[in-house]
Every structure is written in C-alpha cells, then in structure tokens.
Amino acid sequence: MKRREFIKKATLTAAGAFVAPYILPSGRLFAPSGSQIAPHVILVMYAGGIRNQETVDQMYLTQSQYTWNPIPALNVPGNIMPNMLAGAAPTSKVVYGTGISGNTPISPILTTPLHSQGVLFKEVNAVAAGHYGGSIALLQGNTNLAQPLLDRPKTPTIFEYLRKHGGYKATDTWFLGNSLGNSVPLYNHSDDPDYGAKYGANMFIPGVTFGSQGDQFLKNAKVYHPQNELSPMYKMKYFLDNSYESLTQNNVLDVVGNTEAEKAQIKAFMKNMFLKKQAGSVLQPPVSGGDGLTVGYACEVMKEFNPALTVVKIDGPDTCHSDFTGYLRAIHKADHAVGFLWDYIQNQIPAMAGNTIIIATPDCGRNLNPNPILDTENNFRAFDHSDANTRRVFTLMAGKSITNHPDKATAPISSSSPLNTDAAITVGHILGVESEMLSSGYLHGNSQSLIRKL
C-alpha cells in the first residue's frame, strides 16, 4: 500500500470510528446487528397449562379418561384444535364444542390449519411448571429460580431486548393479558436495572381496561386540545419533574417510554374502543367470551398500531385443575380464537398480511396422572401441573418465510429437545436482535432460534 493511500484509509477509518456509533432517534446507540426475517411477530402464550395428549398427540379422551376408566365409550382419540393442527376430529363423545353438552364443535375458520402452513415442534421442553414462572420464562428466554410471584421478571423480557437493541418504539411492542391475577400485569417488562420499564411494552388487560372499571374511570376522559392545553400541561409537568429530579436523583420512576404522539394515539384508541364497546362492535371471534375477548382486543391493537411484536396471553384451559370438560372446551375455543386472529390479520390488516409470523406455545403442560376431582358434567378426571409430563409442550410456528415442514422434535423429551423458552430468541431472531440477546448472558444455555432448527 502506498503511503498516501495508507494515510487516506487510516483517516477514513478514524473518522468512521467517531461517526459510526451514532445515537438513533429511539435513544439507542447501535443499530441491530441482524436483519429482519419478518417485520411482525405474534407470540400466543397458548393456555395456562395444556397437555400434549389432548393437543398435538390428538388423543382427546383416550389418554386422559379411558386410561383411568377403561370403558369403550371413552376410548376416543381426535383433534380438537382444527385451526392450529391437522387431523381428524373425535367421532364420538363430543363434549368440547358449544351447545347442549358441548356436542357442537365450532367450525374451523382457517381452511388450512397453521400446522399445514408452517412447522410444529412436537416435543418441546417447558422450563417451568407454573403459570407465572412459565409465562415469563417464555418472555425472558430463561427461567429464574429466585423469581417470586407478584414481582417483576428479574431478567429482561423480549420486549426490552427489542426496544433497547432493535430501536423499536413503545407502540411497536404490545402485551395483551387476560387477567389481573397470576401476576399477569407484570409481564410487560422486567426490573433489570439495564433494561426495565423504559424499554417495556405497552399493555392492556382488556377485561379491566375496557371492562366496568374502565367504564367508571377511563371512558369519560376529557379530550384536551393538543397545542393549547396538552402541550402546556406536559411542559409544566416536565418543569416540575426536573425540579424534583434535581433534588432526588435516586427516586425517579421509569415509565414505558411512549412519546407524546404515541400517547395521543393510545388515548384516541382507548376512546374509540369505549365507543365501539358501546355500539357492540369491538372485534370478537364468532364464538366469543373468555379468551376470545382478549384476542378480539389484540386484533384491534394490531389493526391500529401494526406492532412488531404482539404477545397474547390465553389461559382458559387452566380450569383443568377441577373441570376437565371445561378444559377441553377452552382448548377448542382458544384454537378458534387463534384461527380468528390469524384470519383477521391476513384479510383485514394489510400492513401485516403476509408479513407476520405467529408462534404459539404453552407456558407449561399438565400432569400425567389426574387429581381426585371429577367434573360435574361428565365425571371426567382433572389434572394439575407439577410432574414430568408438565415438561411436555409444543411450539407451532407459521407465517412469512416459514414454509411447511414435517413435524420437528418428535422424539421423547430429552436434554437436546427444543425449549419453550426458545420462543424468545426466535422472536429476537425474526426481528433482528438475536446476537444481542445471545450475548446478554441472560438466556438459557441451550437457547437457539427455532428457525435455525428448520
């Protein structure tokens, strides 16, 4: 290399070193290292504990009731998730549907089930046996043995990785929860000091936000003039905040960092939802109620905000602790809700149609053996979740760039099986922050994007 050329290149390199780590508008320092596989992901936390026997194994009553009560009428296999899984429905003893005794299955919404569009990881290792631990493990990509209930996740959630390292804004990440119980309202961010609320997701618990409580305390919110009223109000608030911060440096709260424009959009969205609720026109799956309500509002959120990541928590099947018939119906209804959600995206949200990947995985499974409780309707045995069978779950993935594959991970659960917490790194991979997540040191040691296992 000539001396002049060397000096030129060295100068450019030095200049680049000063310029390259620029501050992005989101406040983050570096651009994400990975490219997007798809711009939108939906992670469905599919149920509060469901057994592979009644889902991907399609054994319906055969391995739940017939095993313990071997009468021929209970030896009925079949698929009760027609929108998600390919397979024939049970031919007798149909109690999982609607109508009298649940004898009318809900018609499938998807003509091709997600299973036939994408890929099913059939035997996936659930890293936690409880709902809160299991659910936040899905979001953190790991489990934390020191994690108490009613406490924020201890390590960063996928929302925080995306917002800190991927430059996603607050309204790009949403969590839709089904209840205030089971610490569900704590899912939207961790209390990790390097991440936390300022990188958290927006969240609604629709049954409350838009329920009777919301009617009383949120619905009638005054709409202020943005320039003449709101802007001066924020200005004075920021003055007060600065005065306070200058005196108490260690006590300033972090909040999900919606910009004023994002806040205005969310407030307008809420106003619109209350109007739609009054008019009875909030989106709902054809057979609504329970998890359908959460899914309906999730569709409304996606239509309005086109988020990069939407996480929906479904947990109707947790009734299985005491009501196996209700559990079967809840699984079937949740499948119906997922079918509605996927169909709605493809047909009613142009920005997300053909551009979205859906991942559905349970927080945990359920026991192999039943507890002593019989449900009142069919005398079916109920199941809790604590034994080895609870580790057996599945992960279903479909959408943009996910072509149909034969089932993966069909061997019995072992140390080399995929983890349900792989959902987190898979989302990170799809949205371009995989390497940042892997290098954070917080993920399970065996974590790997499921897309890399195809």
* Residues near another protein (CB under 8 A): 170, 174-175, 177, 180, 185, 188-189, 200-205, 208-209, 212-214, 216-224, 228-229, 232-237, 239-241, 243-245, 247-248, 251-253, 255-256, 258, 263, 266-267, 270
> 8-12 long-range CB contacts below 8 Å, 24 or more apart?
none
CB of 404 to another protein, least distance (A): 35
CB of 45 to another protein, least distance (A): 16
218 vs 438 by CB, closer to another protein: 218
197 vs 287 by CB, closer to another protein: 197
CB of 155 to another protein, least distance (A): 19
Structure tokens at 176: 């839709």
210 vs 394 by CB, closer to another protein: 210
Closest listed residue to residue 415, CA positions, set 376, 373, 444: 444
To which H or E segment does residue 122 belong? strand 119-125
CB of 46 to another protein, least distance (A): 21
CA atoms of 426 and 429, how far apart (whole Å): 5
131 vs 391 by CB, closer to another protein: 131
Longest dimension (CA), the chain: 90
C-alpha neighbours within 13 Å on the C-beta side of residue 208: 11
CB atoms within 10 A of CB 262: 17
Identify the sign of the CA torsion 348, 353, 356, 358: positive
275 vs 411 by CB, closer to another protein: 275
CB of 175 to another protein, least distance (A): 7
CB atoms within 10 A of CB 139: 29
CA atoms of 110 and 19, how far apart (whole Å): 50
Closest listed residue to residue 363, CA positions, set 195, 99, 178: 178
Sequence-ordered list of residues with C-beta below 8 angstroms from that of 150, at least 6 positions apart, any chain: 183, 186
CA atoms of 44 and 420, how far apart (whole Å): 12
Query: Pairing mode, if any, of strands 392-399 and 173-176?
Result: unpaired
CB of 433 to another protein, least distance (A): 20
75 vs 213 by CB, closer to another protein: 213
CB atoms within 10 A of CB 221: 11
Structure tokens at 186: 């704590």
215 vs 407 by CB, closer to another protein: 215
The residue assigned the tokens 């559990």 is 327
CB of 398 to another protein, least distance (A): 27
204 vs 340 by CB, closer to another protein: 204
CB of 285 to another protein, least distance (A): 21
Identify the sign of the CA torsion 427, 432, 434, 436: negative
67 vs 179 by CB, closer to another protein: 179
205 vs 360 by CB, closer to another protein: 205
CB of 292 to another protein, least distance (A): 18
Degrees, nearest 5: CA angle 135-29-355: 55
142 contacts 136 by C-beta, under 8 angstroms: no
CA atoms of 5 and 16, how far apart (whole Å): 16
214 vs 316 by CB, closer to another protein: 214
What string of H, E and C letters represents the secondary structure of 140-165?
HCCCCCCCCCCCCCCCCCHHHHHHHH
CB of 423 to another protein, least distance (A): 20
CA atoms of 130 and 126, how far apart (whole Å): 10
